[in-house]
Structure 1
Amino acid sequence: MGLWIRTLWHLFFPMQLLTGLAEPAENLDFFLPGDYLLGGLFTLHANAKGTSHLTILQVPSCEEYEMKVLGYNLMQAMRFAVEEINNHSSLLPGVQLGYEIVDICYQTNNVQPVLYFLTQPDYFLPISKDYSYYIPRVVAVIGPDNSESTITVANFLSLFLLPQITYSANSDQLRNKRLYPAMLRTMPSATHHIEAMVQLMLHFHWNWIVVLMSNDDYGRDNSQLLRDRLARTNDICVAFQEVLPTPQANQFLTAAELKQLDSILLKLKQSTARVVVIFSPELVLHNFFHGALYWNVTDTVWIASESWSIDPVLHNLPGLQSTGTFLGITIQAVTIPGFSEFRLRPTEATPERQPTKNSSRATCNQECDACLNVTKTFSSILTLSGERVVYCVYSAVYAVAHALHNLLHCGRHHCTKKTVYPWQLLKEIRKVNFPLLSNQIFFDEQGDVPMRLDVVQWQWLRKQNPFQSVAFYFPMQQALRMVGNISWHTEDNTVPRSMCSKSCQQGQSKKSVGIHPCCFECIDCQPGTFLNQTADEYQCKSCPMSMWSNPRDTSCFRRKLAFLQWHEVPTIMVAMLAVLGFLSTLAILVIFWRNFQTPMVRSAGGPMCILMLVPLLLAFGMMPVYVGQPTVPTCICRQAFFTLCYSVCISCITVRSFQIVCVFKMASHLPRAYSFWVRYHGPYVFVVVITALKGVIIASNMLTTPINPMGHPDPEDPSVMILSCHPNYRNGLLFNTSMDLFLSMVGFIFAYLGKELPTNYNEAKFITLSMTFSFTSSVSLCTFMSVYNGVLVTIMDLLVTVLNFLAISLGYFGPKCYMILFYPERNTVAYFNSVIQGYTMRKSL
């Protein structure tokens, strides 16, 4: 506190200069005596660039500057509220409120009036360690209007906990109650104004905007709030941001400032952004909009901040409607009964109290001779636009009155007058909660009244409200609700477009171009991918394995399942072959069984023929496991059962071809080996060993690789999912087939070696045919499976399996059955002996 005391001491040192300038005003517009005085700070004359207060200790003469109609209108609202409470309300019975109002000239006259309000009636402010029981001239201060002035005043008043209620300053800095504990306001903070703007732009899909700001705290703070808000979303981007030149009090711009303004307008003219957000006091905008008219800037949506959203002077600028559509964010309109008549009422002053031009208080900024007349010229606009910020002033006065009501223990007819200390009144103001003209007035934790905000459109063609409400924003819910149609300044009254890039169509992802997320290219999502716009607009996601999508789809659909089915032509053809094989094998088995003891059957292998025919019969009967949706059991049958049956058959043929060669060519050369082979049933041992080895290969393959069925896309039509056994099924099938191929080659070699044997024993050509077909078909299947992955793989696998079994069944056993059935005379021991003797005699010659 010591630093502030020293600061105040230096400020109070020239108090003699201020006492002569701060006596109670003679003009009743600015002063009304009462038991408790309210201080009022309003901008009746505006000078945005005055610097005299920075160089000399002199209060500026505000009447030298341009009058601000809205400021005078707001001041009248304070007067009206005080008089209404004194004359027509039971709120403070027996107590008279008074006021002292000062024109702050926008920013150039803040310190003098606040020091005046803090002094005692003798214009003295003592230096003390404790101001808890200090009684300043006023009990509360209403105003100022702009954020910079409010912060300056709040730095003083907060030291004394003197309540200050601003009616228009919306800077978020004022929400910091550690810095400004005595600061309250009757309107929402800038955060809500910014949110209303953003939701308005999102509603109309404007994502490419220009931000213009004044070169002051108001412009900088609000534009920064907007950037922070936009940083939390990629939906809106700023094409460019510029600082508007601030004119002198006479609206004069220097050559450098004119060049800067022309540069901004040229940039705006050339930009594709058609939405312009402006954070600036209205004084800065006169030259700007004159320049916009000169540069013929049209088809633009101007979004006005609170400071100029309902300014009647700008609204009356000739030709302004040709520049585009004007939308503003402002406080809700509340009709105050009787205020319009009061605002235009001449001030009643006693003859002896008439203010004079030569009064020593001419620079006290409590005179405004032209205010009433100028206000009358804007009366219709002010009346039709509704009491918006006016209501904020009105409710601020009533908040102080309600706090005094509680502090003075007022009843219906009497109040206990007593000394009111600032901190006591501040405490009561924070607790007020009362209805006022259909609104509930209370202060939240940050000291703000959460009033509804309106989005207004500027109208020129209609005689009614020039600032027509088209949308409402509710701070408590942070929601925007459209309530009216906007008449756009475009052809066919269409909503203006302000987008860096056109919106992507359905199923198109965004590809960023440059640094702005709103600038992008639209890329079609490829088949098999989809775009979930709610999750990520910049990347097409892949569909799950079991699903697919067409180009530019936003969702996936289930693939059509494809597998071998009974009604398909290839299935029917292979099934017919399998039926043929089953019936023929069954017939061969019956024929061989009935002729089991005949030389023809015994020469073909005897019991080994039955060992071959039974697996063949079972294999043909199990053909349906290839048809229908694959399952784990069917996949096991395909990989294990069929290949095992085939290995049994092929091993029998191989050992049979080996036996033929041994009998006729090797028996004489290796009699002991042949005797050993016969004694220990070499053929059956060989078949068992081969079968066991094949079983081990199959088991190890099934244990190391999964065989569960799965789907994979059809290479010709990805929307189709081919259901088959696990891809490792192919690897296992190829591995298992390698052993069968080896046996086929061995059987072929032995059969070829026995090609010169007697006709009845000459099975070589049949075995050669069978093994050649088996080898060729197996190699063809392996080649086909290595280059193709469609549903035909299953058909080819089944077809090769059936043909291999048919080659054995018909190719090996068919000729023997033919001899048994049609040449029974050759199926005798005598005939076989004669053939062998003839073969021996030919070999000996």
Structure 2
Amino acid sequence: MWISLNICLYLSIYYIYAAFISDSCQLQERFKLNGMYQNGDFIIGGLFEVQNLKVFPELNFRTEPELPHCEEFYMASFQQALTMVFAINEINNNNLLPNITLGYQIYDNCLRLGVAFRAAISLVSGTEETFSNLNCTGPPPVIGIVGDPGSTQSIAISSVLGLFRVPMVSYYATCSCLSDRKKYPSFFRTIPSDAFQVRAMVQILKHFGWTWVGLLYSDDDYGIYAAQSFQQEMYWFGGCVAFSEILPYDNNRRDIQRIVEVIQTSTARVLVAFSTDLSSLMDELLLQNVTGKQWIASEAWTTTPVLQTAQYLPLLRGTLGIAIRRGQIQGLHDFLKGLRPDNNPKNSTIKIFWENMFECKFEVGGKNIAQEQGENKCSGQEDLSSTDTAFTDVSELRASYNVYKAVYALAHALHDLMHCEEGRGPFSKNGCADISNLKPWQLVHYLEKVNFTTGFGDHVSFNENGDALAIYDVMNWHPRSDGSIVVRTVGVVNEGATRGKVLKLDDDALYWNFETKKPPRSVCSESCHPGTRRVRRKGLPVCCFDCLPCGDGEISNTTDSPECFRCPDEFWSSPENDNCIPKEVEFLSYEDPLGISLTTASLLGTSFCALVMVIFALHRNTPIVRANNSELSFLLLVSLKLCFLCVLLFIGRPQLWTCQLRHAVFGISFVLCISSILVKTMVVIAVFKSSRPEGKSAIKWFGSAQQRGTVLALISTQVAICTVWLSTASPTPLKNSHYIRSKIVYECAIGSVAGFSMLLGYIGLLAAVSFLLAFMARKLPDNFNEAKFITFSMLVFCAVWIAFVPAYVSSPGKYAVAVEIFAILASSFGLLVAIFAPKCYIIILHPERNTKKAIMERPTQNK
């Protein structure tokens, strides 16, 4: 193939060289090619796959190579060539190009690159035998070429034509590589490129949620580039290819068997194929009974009749594919029916067609051999009106419709060129093209800007890469009652759609080759539900993944989320981790069982204090009440009531005023309590010392006024500490999420650690002094020793608050508040019980001991 191409290039260079050394340009030799010809003011070339060349003549480089002989006439391809003839005749008969007649030169490429390249060289060389111009210049033989249908042939031909900017408009070459404007500056096409084809196929996969697919492609430019584009599109779509295999053109059985084994073992239930030759693979799949697969066909074989037989029905029914846009061409059917052979030797393709239709033979020059033998065949009078073949069938005009658009694109470009106004032209000095000396590159300029609408209503224009607007029909293979397959249109993919979806599909019209009559599932991994995230499996394609649940405080609210997102500070993840909900606000409330218990204890302590006050008030003149300084006793009871009541400020939703008051009231109440006990202890010691001769003067320093002043001074210090604290760094309500991330602990921030420490430290200092003084006086000889009770109460008080510090620090949330309340209640109950319970016991149960004598007498010592 490439050897032939090199020979063609060599001959072209040789002829050019020969022209420079001779006085005239002479065509050395003409290729023998089958085709059709019609003269005109401007000639449009055409390349079509009318026949197939199975064996190319061998080259030995010693003798002149034999001319290739093409066989197997393709009626559908011949229809495409005749569509070009019809379009040119139609243009000549309308007013698109007034005073201009278009002609054509159409060649058969025989499905071979070598033949196609020879035909292209013949088109650009022209039909003139010699040129008298010494510069070997003249009007262009063809103003443009319609074709070639093959991607490989178009790549080779466009590489040469692009050097001379000769426009080439293909109607079937889809390789995305041809969109490279630097390599192929004059290439255009009316069929969308494989890049659009792949996107259309991926749209179908996306519609049904198929992310795990097998890929088969032919080992040529079409298959390789299509497969590369497909894998890229699948990557961006989020799908992946289960396997990727090349379909060999030589149909090597070993390779076919290897591909079948891969298909059998793969878990992918959807197979995508980019190829034009699948019959050998399908035969092997049927032999191995490999069914249950959903085939996705590229436009290369979606509408091919080769596989639409009863033989492949079990395997291929339900196949989905895309096909190039089907159109309608008014008058084409009558034109094809009226085709007749003629005696023009340049229209050899028509003679070959007639020979295949009526099994006769023409000699060169048009002499009918069959008619001379007495057979009434090939007389030129045969009628095709009753013939129903692929040639006359215009119900599925796809490739032919693209040919029609390609011819009209060249005609519209020529029309725009002819209507250029001098001074407003696109060329040098705003000039226009010289119609009598038209340059191919000038037509390329207008072809890039062509914009028209066909009679069928389709818009035709080219983008910056020479590609047409992408629009495809979605096809579905339905079984017939006779066992064959009929291909039906079930949707459309329109990349140019300005509104709505690119893919429009009639789901009710689809046929599925599965027992469920529903589309299959083809995924490597099932979708991850909201509340989970995708984690790719190591060593496997991107669509193979595991679903891991989101962590606490994180959510994912979409399917197949690649990551989880953290909720805002005041929100937490729901139990399903699919949305953020407000965090539960936690504080010690009155409805909480713990809050109810502590409130009850607070009220009981307050009630006990009130009860003791009533008892003391009723027995205020009794010796045991008077002996213990009734004024300080009542003051102590009042302070204990405040201690019990301040607990209520710690319960309930924290507010600014409760946060400011709770510690201030707590601090002042306890200082009042401890200062009363301290003064009470000092009075006991002073009274004991006054009973001795050396201590009679001590009692005068502890009169009522001095007692009140001492208590007031001690309280004033605490009030000053609280005032400075509240004015500089006041406690405020705080929503704290550090203890429990799923909850908001509503608490009071102390504001200043130093202020809070000074408040507690001052209470602790007074308690320590009271404990030491009481401990020193615990062995006084009186029968009822007040110092013993004070010592015990201070011991309980100090033990409670020493244990409070580590418990408070280690307790989270509302339990820290509960620990502080417990410390307040425990120390208050300890003081109340230790100091006042013995007195109430004597007053109520043993009134006989509530006498001055019983209180003043000393306990009897045992000997």
Structure 2 length as normaliser, TM-score?
Answer: 0.78
Question: Residue type matched to 2:30 in 1?
Answer: L
Alignment of 1:387-406 (within 5 A): 387-406=397-416
User: 1:808 is matched with which residue?
Assistant: 831
User: 2:426 is matched with which residue?
Assistant: none
The reply to whether residue 114 of structure 1 matches residue 120 of structure 2 is yes
Query: Which among 35, 46, 68 is matched to residue 40 of structure 1?
Result: 46
Q: For residues 572 and 293 of structure 2, what CA distance do their matches in structure 1 show? A: 45
Alignment of 1:413-432 (within 5 A): 418-432=436-450
**Structure 2 residue matching 1:40: 3-state secondary structure:** strand
Q: For residues 128 and 608 of structure 1, what CA distance do their matches in structure 2 show? A: 139
**Structure 1 residue matching 2:311: 3-state secondary structure:** coil
Question: Residue type matched to 1:197 in 2?
Answer: M
The reply to whether residue 271 of structure 1 matches residue 266 of structure 2 is yes
- In structure 2, relative to structure 1, the CA distance for the partners of 1:816 and 1:265 (3 Å cut) is same
- In structure 2, relative to structure 1, the CA distance for the partners of 1:313 and 1:765 (3 Å cut) is same
Alignment of 1:569-580 (within 5 A): 569-580=593-604
Query: Which among 150, 160, 169 is matched to residue 164 of structure 2?
Result: 160
User: 2:789 is matched with which residue?
Assistant: 766
Q: For residues 491 and 63 of structure 2, what CA distance do their matches in structure 1 show? A: 47
User: 1:364 is matched with which residue?
Assistant: none
1:264 deviates by 1.4
Q: For residues 324 and 467 of structure 1, what CA distance do their matches in structure 2 show? A: 9
The reply to whether residue 246 of structure 1 matches residue 249 of structure 2 is yes
Question: Residue type matched to 1:21 in 2?
Answer: R
Query: Which among 531, 543, 548 is matched to residue 523 of structure 1?
Result: 548
CA contact (8 A) 1:334 1:388 kept: yes
Query: Which among 74, 79, 85 is matched to residue 80 of structure 2?
Result: 74
Question: Residue type matched to 2:488 in 1?
Answer: Q
Q: For residues 62 and 223 of structure 2, what CA distance do their matches in structure 1 show? A: 27
CA contact (8 A) 1:331 1:388 kept: yes
Deviation string 1:314-368 (CA, Å, 9 cap, x unpaired) is 334732542464222222211222334544554331388875777599xxxxxxx
**Structure 1 residue matching 2:534: 3-state secondary structure:** strand
User: 2:283 is matched with which residue?
Assistant: 290
Question: Residue type matched to 2:110 in 1?
Answer: C
Task: List runs of 5+ in structure 2 lacking aligned partners.
Answer: 1-7, 20-24, 352-360, 367-382, 421-433
User: 2:417 is matched with which residue?
Assistant: 407
User: 1:635 is matched with which residue?
Assistant: 659
User: 1:566 is matched with which residue?
Assistant: 590
1:669 deviates by 12
Question: Residue type matched to 2:511 in 1?
Answer: S
CA contact (8 A) 1:135 1:422 kept: no
- In structure 2, relative to structure 1, the CA distance for the partners of 1:428 and 1:510 (3 Å cut) is closer
CA contact (8 A) 2:679 2:710 kept: no
Q: For residues 50 and 112 of structure 1, what CA distance do their matches in structure 2 show? A: 13
Alignment of 1:465-614 (within 5 A): 466-477=486-497, 479-484=502-507, 485-514=509-538, 515-525=540-550, 528-533=553-558, 537-582=561-606, 585=609, 604=628, 612-613=636-637
1:243 deviates by 1.6
**Structure 1 residue matching 2:824: 3-state secondary structure:** helix
1:438 deviates by 0.9
More displaced 10-residue stretch of structure 1: 510-519 or 640-649? 640-649
Alignment of 1:117-156 (within 5 A): 117-123=123-129, 135-156=139-160
1:531 deviates by 2.0
Q: For residues 40 and 831 of structure 2, what CA distance do their matches in structure 1 show? A: 125
- In structure 2, relative to structure 1, the CA distance for the partners of 1:323 and 1:184 (3 Å cut) is closer
1:69 deviates by 5.0
Deviation string 1:49-82 (CA, Å, 9 cap, x unpaired) is 9696898998886654555554333222212212
Q: For residues 644 and 56 of structure 1, what CA distance do their matches in structure 2 show? A: 123
Question: Residue type matched to 1:455 in 2?
Answer: V
1:490 deviates by 0.8
Q: For residues 641 and 810 of structure 1, what CA distance do their matches in structure 2 show? A: 22
**Structure 2 residue matching 1:491: 3-state secondary structure:** coil
**Structure 2 residue matching 1:348: 3-state secondary structure:** coil
Question: Residue type matched to 1:275 in 2?
Answer: V
1:165 deviates by 1.0
- In structure 2, relative to structure 1, the CA distance for the partners of 1:596 and 1:425 (3 Å cut) is same
**Structure 2 residue matching 1:155: 3-state secondary structure:** helix
Query: Which among 220, 231, 234 is matched to residue 230 of structure 1?
Result: 234
Deviation string 1:62-106 (CA, Å, 9 cap, x unpaired) is 65455555433322221221222234x232344332111112233
**Structure 2 residue matching 1:318: 3-state secondary structure:** helix
CA contact (8 A) 2:660 2:726 kept: no
CA contact (8 A) 2:656 2:731 kept: no
1:472 deviates by 1.8
Q: For residues 342 and 551 of structure 1, what CA distance do their matches in structure 2 show? A: 73
1:445 deviates by 2.5
Q: For residues 774 and 805 of structure 1, what CA distance do their matches in structure 2 show? A: 8
- In structure 2, relative to structure 1, the CA distance for the partners of 1:41 and 1:589 (3 Å cut) is same
Q: For residues 653 and 747 of structure 1, what CA distance do their matches in structure 2 show? A: 7
Query: Which among 188, 195, 207 is matched to residue 192 of structure 2?
Result: 188
Alignment of 1:332-371 (within 5 A): 332-343=325-336, 345-350=338-343
Number of residues of Structure 1 aligned to a counterpart in Structure 2: 801
Deviation string 1:96-121 (CA, Å, 9 cap, x unpaired) is 32111112233332321222122244
- In structure 2, relative to structure 1, the CA distance for the partners of 1:11 and 1:504 (3 Å cut) is farther
1:454 deviates by 2.0
Deviation string 1:500-545 (CA, Å, 9 cap, x unpaired) is 12233443333322332211223344554422326x7244444445
- In structure 2, relative to structure 1, the CA distance for the partners of 1:770 and 1:797 (3 Å cut) is same
More displaced 10-residue stretch of structure 1: 170-179 or 33-42? 170-179
More displaced 10-residue stretch of structure 1: 95-104 or 55-64? 55-64
- In structure 2, relative to structure 1, the CA distance for the partners of 1:80 and 1:497 (3 Å cut) is same
User: 1:30 is matched with which residue?
Assistant: 36
**Structure 1 residue matching 2:300: 3-state secondary structure:** coil
1:555 deviates by 0.9
1:142 deviates by 0.5
User: 1:97 is matched with which residue?
Assistant: 102
- In structure 2, relative to structure 1, the CA distance for the partners of 1:460 and 1:531 (3 Å cut) is same
Q: For residues 128 and 753 of structure 1, what CA distance do their matches in structure 2 show? A: 140
1:691 deviates by 7.6
User: 1:21 is matched with which residue?
Assistant: 30
Task: List runs of 5+ in structure 1 lacking aligned partners.
Answer: 248-252, 362-371, 411-415
Deviation string 1:480-502 (CA, Å, 9 cap, x unpaired) is 22234321111121211211122
Give the structure, 1 or 2, with the largest relative contact order (CA under 8 Å, sep 6 or more): 1
- In structure 2, relative to structure 1, the CA distance for the partners of 1:452 and 1:405 (3 Å cut) is same
Q: Percent identity?
A: 28
Alignment of 1:663-702 (within 5 A): 664=688, 692=717
Q: For residues 46 and 64 of structure 2, what CA distance do their matches in structure 1 show? A: 20
More displaced 10-residue stretch of structure 1: 224-233 or 758-767? 758-767
The reply to whether residue 456 of structure 1 matches residue 462 of structure 2 is no
User: 1:367 is matched with which residue?
Assistant: none
CA contact (8 A) 1:714 1:789 kept: yes
**Structure 1 residue matching 2:669: 3-state secondary structure:** helix
